[in-house]
């Protein structure tokens, strides 16, 4: 077992002949070397009188055997013919070894002999294939470890001891050390340690050398552990320690008359009992304990399991390492039993022994490393004995010891953490967490060492993840990750004190953890993808283990579920502590207990849930109710009392709840305990009653010994007497009871355990329990570099972390600390963003913005320079904007703070000129005011204060002092070098921020973030106030609006998201502004620009965009007037660019309303008409949807007296020209549509036409003659240009009533009522109107004649003619009309006659048309009847026949080939 793997050995043997050859190519040289060593020993011996002369004894032996053997060797060496490796080394070593063993030789002689052996060992004469090399090595070790010599003086004694160390170390370091047996290696270490112990009373140098040799030995031995094969099969059995027989009395030194026997702690020197000496200049010596524990192999009694003897004689391997390691651990136990000598110095001793032992242990672990886990005995030593001692020494007052303990634990974590889960938990809970906080009474040095250790652990990338996965997510373990994270953040907080190294150290730890998380982000598997845990029903979960701890897809959901359950249990515990009944009901409701309570689940809840009120648990368990009794027995069943002493078991049991005060309850509790204890560890107890009685007896003894009110204490004899005959009628062994008695006296059983989850002390009973638990605990999960649990971990620690980094940043004065904090902030931002923790990122931004100093109310002092001089503020500012640019997707409310900073920079004139520019198309930016001042701020004297600005801190005190400097009255002067530099630094900082890209790159922002950014801009702009706001507020509002418009234009694909807010904001501005100002200008033109840019892309939003332009119509009159021309130009541009994209009537209504308004505006009308011209020319963009609107707009331009009459004429041409469109639409409808649709379309066309002619009618009343007359011509064209489509008769009647007759009447009124000054040459207009009437009437005669109301219509025509005949303009009769009217009338009558419309009918029913016609005609021109109907005279007699023929004619249709005049 445990021997070195042979490959290396075999290889060495194969190569050896060559190697030996090369080292000893010259046999004679080696022979000479040995010869000279023999000479050296003999020379020293001759100096001594005893060896110098001849022997005069009766023997025939002339010389002493030592000298003889040396001389014999001299004779032989030159006569050897063979290779050196074929010669038995014993031949040339034995004479020297005899000298070393001899107790007759003095120290100088022994020293030289030792040097000779050392020389032979180091010359590589011995190699693995040397004959009998194994025996030779054993001889050397045996001889050196049992070296004897006479002490002549202390110096030579020390020299010999040093040389012994030298030779032993050379044995271990030589190639052939692999031949040494386990036994011999143990002997070497034992001897070495005894010299260390001996050196305590010797010189400092020897002490140092001895300790160094011990270290080297341990390193040498344990460095072989990785090469040793597995040892499982070869163990006699597995025990926690070993006992090694066979290191006997021959391991002793004989110093003349003084001996130090193996295992004996005291030695005699000149008759003085040697005490442990501590010379003032020495590092104190190691002390052997009064026990036998300072010899390797002195096991601790019953637990020891010896190795087989043959194993100890095999080549060395694990057995000797176990022995040595056990010995080193036992050195730590020595301290407990040490009785101090008179000159001892307690602190120095307490520090020295453990430090030496811990140093050796650390070396062993460093070199043994992960190989230890292959060897169960070594592993169990580390798990139990070593760790138990580390826990104890961890609380040592000495920072050196604590530091060494922490180093060992870090090494163990690196190599063996999978085997040390609960031990690590205990170490952090009971040592690190206790020491790193001052409230547990640790000194500052202890706190610092503990904190350094913790930070070292934090720098291990997976440490915190493993703590979280293995401990925080384990229901039965404490939340170590959470406690450590809280400790770090609390320790980084400087509370009412300046920043110290400790704070920075804690901060380093925090940031190491955070950066570890940040580094894992790129490696996939973000924890946020975990589906939320949901417990549908109760399933027993306390002892469930994961199926596969190496597959993350299995263990990650498993630990997340465990953590969820653990959190719910904590809430349940809280409920339980307030009201046990309701607490259990709550747990049933959350499926953590079954709907019908069973004893086992409640027992597990009491046993494994942290934070329960132990008084309440005790009361519940002691209750006589049957269910409570069942729970009590199940509760006892959760304990493992295997191989435990009764008092230890009782302590553990009573630690978990408070023993109730009533005797019946105590009885019940102890019965359950005894039953369980007897079941698992009967040992010498006869039955469970014996266990019960003895337990009761122990409780009584405990009360008796530790209750101050009991004056007469129970003695040991009393206790033994009280427990007679309880073991099934027999007595228990006295020593058994004595041990129990002393255990209780020394160490009270606390029946009122401490409440709460403070960090407990590690008591022996708790350690035993821990060792039991560690056999059953879940496997240790080894984390890799993927971010499986970081989301949950970060959620726990983010708040305190941000707070801690912020506070340190606030208090810090050095740039390195600033940088550390900034790194931390950026890592937090990265993690928050990647795990989608928006609220955390917002908190971070809020925190950072405070440090930019940009949000502080500006002091009177020049803020640009103060900023340039404040490194902290500049770093914070760059960080804020770095986060905004990198992680903007996940910022929500934080945008408000970021904008506050931007606005402050804007007010200081520090923003680049085009931050607000729209990156999508810069060319369209009009040069508006308030667009940010250029960054190249000229440093005029006006910008600078008169004195160099002192470097100011952005800490709170710094800000306070800024407020006190109110020296503004001094005259300004040229800037100093210092101020120029500060200004330059400010500008450079702002450039690094890339503020513009927040807005130009906003198209890449996630929707939620974009929306929040827009809302923040609206919020920052403030609500517009009616009346006067300060110029500064207005500037801010303008700037924010620019940015808002920029991001709106940049995000045209997501306009729906932003539009509502943007529109409302602009609407508020427009409706609350009563005077022209930059803000309303920016709002109106921004709105127009958005519409211009987005219409081509967002047809589904076109209506909404265009409807928004109605805001322009709501502008206050003064405002509208000021911007009318530019607005119109923009609208014109919009129409020209997007006419094809405007489809709806609503959209067109807005556009035409805007254009119509401009008709009366001197500056704007040109642009407005231009746009209308674009739409209506050749019907280019006329649609059924916009026809009426455009016609109406054109009418307004025609009526407008702004500009030349020529424009009105053009407007009329547009109107009349639009008839063509109506014809075209009618034609298209006919070709493409179904019947129903055609009739509907015709109806619509008719209505449009009616609106057109009505519009023209209004213009016919214009004051300007040219316009008026052109309108009449246009109207006539429109009335007669309808051949392309059929208009219903009813529409024509409407047209006569509402258009033609109304117009004639209105013109008549005008002609008679106004002075000619207003309306020039009305006679001409009236003439035109009359001609229009006549022409239209005749054109439509055929259709109209068939109407039943024709007569009425005809009389209307006649009455108008009659009025026009008699009209007086300016009170005078006109010249032309009396001539024109009869002529027109005559023409009309002729046509009517020709078409058979006007014919005399028979008197059957009366011929009203005929009669009435002539009635009116005679009023106008009496002679007409005879002119039109000359043949009517003298035909009266034929009246009847003619009447008949006319009637029949009338019923037929008019001849179609006749046309009107």
- Evaluate whether 1094 touches 1141 at the Cβ level (below 8 Å): no
- Evaluate whether 1099 touches 1143 at the Cβ level (below 8 Å): yes
Task: Annotate 59-75 with b (16+ C-beta within 10 A) or e (fewer).
Answer: eeeeebebbebbeebbe
The Cβ-side half-sphere exposure at 124, using a 13 Å CA radius, reads 12
Distances (CA, A) of 329 to 178, 291, 604: 25, 14, 36
- Cα 222–225–230 angle (5° rounding)? 150
> Under 8 Å CB-to-CB from 1136, ≥6 apart: which residues?
1171, 1174
Give the Cα separation of 1325 and 962 in Å (integer): 83
Task: Annotate 1184-1195 with b (16+ C-beta within 10 A) or e (fewer).
Answer: ebbbbbbbbbbb
Give the Cα separation of 109 and 1333 in Å (integer): 157
Q: How do 1368-1369 and 1372-1373 pair as beta strands? A: antiparallel
State the angle between helix axes of 154-173 and 133-145 in degrees (0 to 180), rounded to the nearest 10.
150
Q: Residue 230, SS3?
A: coil
- Evaluate whether 489 touches 804 at the Cβ level (below 8 Å): yes
- Nearest alpha-carbon partner for 993 in 1094, 1090, 906, 1075: 906
Question: Is the Cα torsion angle 154, 157, 161, 167 positive or negative in sign?
Answer: positive
- Nearest alpha-carbon partner for 1215 in 1263, 1255, 1273: 1255
Could you say which of 21, 268, 336, 662 is catalytic?
662
Give the Cα separation of 1122 and 566 in Å (integer): 70
297's torsion region: left (phi>0), alpha (psi -120 to 50) or beta?
left
662 is catalytic: yes
* 3-state percent helix, strand, coil for the chain, nearest multiple of 5: 65, 0, 30
Q: How do 272-273 and 268-269 pair as beta strands? A: antiparallel
Residue with tokens 């000159």: 343
How many CB atoms lie under 10 A from the CB of residue 551? Answer: 10
- Nearest alpha-carbon partner for 1361 in 1393, 1331, 1341, 1339: 1331
Residue with tokens 């983010």: 798
Give the Cα separation of 659 and 646 in Å (integer): 17
Give the Cα separation of 1120 and 1142 in Å (integer): 24
Q: Residue 260, SS3?
A: strand
As given in the structure block, the two tokens for residue 745 are 């006296």
As given in the structure block, the two tokens for residue 740 are 């129990």
Give the Cα separation of 1090 and 1066 in Å (integer): 12
Residue 302 DSSP symbol: G
Distances (CA, A) of 21 to 17, 178, 1121, 1321: 6, 21, 114, 144
Start-to-end CA span in the chain (Å): 137
Give the Cα separation of 1285 and 1244 in Å (integer): 12
The secondary structure of 633-666 as a DSSP string is HHHHHT---TT--HHHHHHHHHHSSPPPSSHHHH
- Cα 540–546–551 angle (5° rounding)? 155
Query: Which residues belong to the active site?
Result: 662
């Amino acid at each position: 077992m445990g021997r070195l793997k042979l490959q290396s050995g075999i290889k060495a043997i194969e190569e050896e002949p060559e190697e030996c050859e090369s080292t000893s190519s010259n046999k004679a040289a080696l022979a000479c070397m040995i010869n000279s060593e023999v000479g050296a020993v003999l020379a020293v011996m001759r100096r001594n009188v005893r060896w110098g002369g001849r022997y005069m004894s009766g023997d025939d032996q002339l010389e002493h055997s030592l000298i003889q053997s040396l001389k014999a060797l001299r004779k032989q060496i030159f006569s050897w013919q063979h290779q050196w490796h074929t010669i038995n080394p014993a031949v040339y070593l034995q004479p020297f070894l005899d000298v070393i063993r001899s107790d007759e030789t003095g120290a100088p002689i022994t020293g030289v002999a030792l040097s000779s052996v050392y020389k032979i060992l180091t010359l590589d004469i011995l190699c693995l294939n040397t004959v009998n090399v194994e025996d030779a090595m054993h001889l050397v070790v045996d001889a050196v470890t049992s070296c004897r010599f006479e002490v002549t003086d202390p110096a030579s004694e020390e020299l010999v001891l040093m040389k012994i160390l030298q030779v032993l170390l050379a044995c271990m370091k030589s190639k052939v050390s692999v031949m040494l047996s386990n036994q011999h290696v143990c002997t070497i270490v034992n001897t070495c340690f005894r010299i260390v112990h001996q050196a305590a009373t010797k010189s400092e140098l020897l002490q140092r050398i001895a300790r160094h040799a011990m270290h080297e030995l341990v390193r040498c031995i344990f460095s072989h552990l990785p090469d040793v094969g597995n040892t499982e099969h070869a163990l006699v059995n597995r025990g926690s320690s070993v006992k090694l027989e066979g290191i006997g009395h021959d391991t002793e030194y004989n110093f003349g008359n003084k001996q130090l026997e193996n295992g004996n702690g005291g030695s005699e020197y000149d008759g003085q009992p040697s005490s442990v000496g501590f010379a003032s200049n020495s590092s104190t010596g190691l002390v052997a304990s009064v026990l036998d524990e300072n010899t390797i192999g002195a096991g601790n009694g019953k637990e020891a399991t010896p190795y087989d003897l043959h194993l100890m004689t095999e080549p060395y391997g694990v057995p000797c390492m176990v022995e040595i390691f056990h010995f080193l651990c036992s050195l730590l136990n020595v301290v407990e039993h040490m009785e101090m000598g008179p000159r001892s110095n307690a602190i120095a001793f307490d520090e020295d022994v453990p430090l030496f032992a811990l140093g050796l242990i650390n070396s062993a672990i460093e070199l043994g490393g992960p190989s230890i886990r292959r060897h169960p005995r070594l592993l169990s030593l580390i798990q139990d004995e070593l760790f138990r001692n580390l826990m104890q020494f961890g609380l040592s007052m000495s920072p050196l010891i604590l530091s060494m303990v922490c180093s060992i634990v870090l090494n163990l974590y690196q190599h063996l953490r999978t085997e040390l889960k609960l031990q690590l938990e205990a170490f952090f809970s009971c040592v690190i967490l206790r020491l790193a906080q001052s409230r547990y009474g640790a000194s500052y040095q202890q706190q610092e060492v503990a904190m350094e250790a913790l930070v070292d652990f934090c720098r291990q990338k997976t440490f915190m993840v493993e703590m979280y996965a293995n401990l925080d997510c384990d229901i039965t373990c404490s939340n170590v990750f959470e406690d450590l994270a809280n400790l770090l953040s609390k320790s980084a907080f400087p509370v009412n004190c300046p920043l110290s190294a400790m704070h920075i150290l804690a901060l380093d730890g925090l940031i190491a953890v955070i950066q570890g998380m940040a580094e894992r982000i790129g490696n996939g598997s973000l924890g946020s993808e975990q589906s939320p845990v949901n417990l549908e029903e109760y399933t027993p979960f306390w002892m469930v283990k994961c199926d596969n701890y190496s597959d993350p897809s299995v263990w990650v959901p498993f630990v997340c579920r465990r953590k969820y359950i653990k959190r719910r249990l904590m809430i349940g515990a809280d409920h339980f502590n307030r009201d046990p009944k309701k607490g259990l009901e709550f747990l049933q409701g959350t499926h953590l207990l079954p709907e019908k309570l069973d004893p086992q689940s409640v027992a597990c809840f009491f046993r494994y849930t942290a934070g329960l009120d132990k008084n309440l648990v005790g009361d519940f368990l002691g209750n006589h109710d049957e269910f409570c009794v069942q729970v009590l027995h199940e509760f006892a069943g959760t304990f493992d009392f295997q191989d435990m002493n009764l008092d230890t078991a009782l302590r553990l049991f009573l630690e978990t709840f408070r023993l109730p005060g009533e005797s019946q309850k105590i009885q019940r509790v102890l019965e359950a305990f005894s039953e369980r204890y007897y079941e698992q560890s009967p040992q010498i107890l006869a039955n469970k009653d014996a266990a019960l009685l003895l337990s009761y007896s122990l409780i009584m003894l405990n009360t008796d010994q530790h209750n101050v009110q009991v004056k007469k204490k129970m003695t040991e004899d009393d206790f033994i007497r009280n427990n007679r005959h309880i073991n099934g009628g027999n007595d228990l062994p006295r020593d058994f009871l004595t041990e129990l008695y002393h255990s209780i006296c020394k160490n009270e059983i606390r029946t009122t355990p401490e409440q709460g989850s403070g960090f407990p002390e590690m008591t022996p009973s708790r350690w035993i329990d821990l060792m039991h638990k560690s056999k059953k605990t879940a496997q240790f999960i080894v984390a890799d570099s993927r971010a499986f649990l970081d989301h949950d971990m970060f959620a726990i620690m983010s708040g305190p972390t941000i707070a801690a980094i912020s506070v340190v940043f606030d208090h810090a004065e050095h740039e390195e600390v600033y940088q550390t904090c900034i790194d931390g902030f950026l890592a937090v931002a990265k993690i928050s963003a990647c795990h989608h923790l928006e609220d955390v990122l917002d908190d971070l931004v809020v925190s950072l913005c405070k440090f930019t100093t940009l949000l502080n109310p500006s002091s009177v002092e020049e803020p640009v320079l103060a900023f340039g001089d404040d490194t902290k503020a500049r770093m914070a500012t760059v960080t804020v904007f770095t986060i905004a640019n990198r992680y903007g997707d996940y910022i929500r409310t934080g945008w408000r703070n970021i904008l506050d900073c931007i606005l402050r920079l804007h007010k200081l004139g520090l923003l680049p000129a085009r931050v607000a520019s729209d990156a999508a198309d810069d060319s369209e930016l009009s040069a508006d005011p308030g667009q940010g001042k250029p960054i190249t701020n000229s440093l005029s004297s006006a910008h600078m204060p008169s004195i160099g600005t002192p470097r100011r801190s952005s800490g709170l005190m710094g800000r306070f002092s800024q407020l006190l400097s109110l020296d503004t009255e001094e005259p300004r002067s040229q800037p100093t070098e210092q101020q120029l530099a500060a200004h330059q630094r400010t500008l450079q900082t702002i450039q690094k921020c890339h503020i513009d890209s927040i807005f130009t790159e906003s198209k890449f922002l996630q929707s939620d973030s974009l929306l929040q950014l827009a809302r923040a801009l609206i919020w920052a702009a403030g609500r517009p106030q009616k009346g006067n706001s300060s110029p500064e507020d207005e500037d801010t509002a303008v700037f924010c609006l620019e940015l808002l418009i920029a991001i709106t234009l940049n995000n045209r694909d997501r306009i729906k998201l932003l539009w509502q807010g943007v529109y409302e904001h602009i609407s508020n501005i427009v409706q609350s502004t009563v005077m022209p100002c930059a803000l309303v200008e920016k709002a109106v033109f921004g709105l127009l620009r958005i519409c211009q840019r987005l219409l081509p892309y967002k047809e589904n939003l076109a209506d909404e965009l265009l409807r928004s332009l109605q805001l322009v119509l709501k502008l206050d009159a003064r405002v509208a007037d000021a911007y009318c021309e530019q607005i119109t130009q923009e609208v014109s541009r919009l129409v020209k660019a997007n006419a094809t994209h405007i489809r709806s009537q609503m959209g067109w209504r807005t556009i035409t309303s805007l254009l119509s308004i401009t008709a009366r505006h001197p500056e704007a009308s040109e642009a407005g008409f231009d746009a209308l011209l674009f739409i209506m020319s050749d019907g280019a963009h006329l649609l059924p949807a916009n026809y009426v609107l455009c016609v109406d707009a054109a009418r307004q331009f025609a009526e407008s007296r702004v500009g030349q009459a020529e424009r009105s004429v053009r407007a009329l041409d547009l109107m009349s020209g639009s008839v063509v469109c109506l014809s075209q639409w009618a034609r298209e409808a006919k070709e493409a549509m179904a019947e129903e649709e055609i009739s509907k379309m015709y109806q619509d066309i008719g209505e449009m036409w009616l609106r057109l002619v009505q519009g023209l009618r209004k213009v016919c009343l214009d004051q300007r003659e040219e316009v008026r007359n052109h309108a009449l011509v246009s109207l006539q064209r429109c009335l007669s240009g309808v051949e392309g489509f059929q208009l219903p008769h009813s529409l024509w009647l409407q047209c006569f009533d509402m258009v033609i007759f109304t117009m004639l009447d209105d013109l008549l009124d005008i002609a008679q009522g106004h002075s000619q000054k207003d309306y020039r040459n009305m006679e001409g207009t009236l003439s035109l109107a009359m001609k229009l009437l006549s022409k239209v009437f005749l054109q439509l005669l055929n259709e109209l004649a068939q109407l039943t109301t024709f007569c009425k219509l005809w009389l209307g025509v006649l009455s108008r003619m009659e009025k026009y005949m008699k009209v007086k303009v300016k009170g005078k009769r006109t010249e032309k009309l009396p001539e024109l009217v009869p002529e027109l009338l005559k023409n009309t009558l002729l046509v009517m006659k020709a078409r058979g419309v006007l014919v005399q009918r028979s008197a059957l029913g009366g011929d009203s048309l005929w009669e009435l016609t002539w009635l009116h005609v005679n009023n106008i021109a009496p002679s007409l009847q005879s002119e039109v109907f000359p043949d009517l005279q003298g035909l009266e007699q034929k009246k009847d026949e003619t009447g008949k023929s006319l009637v029949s004619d009338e019923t037929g249709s008019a001849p179609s080939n006749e046309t009107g005049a």
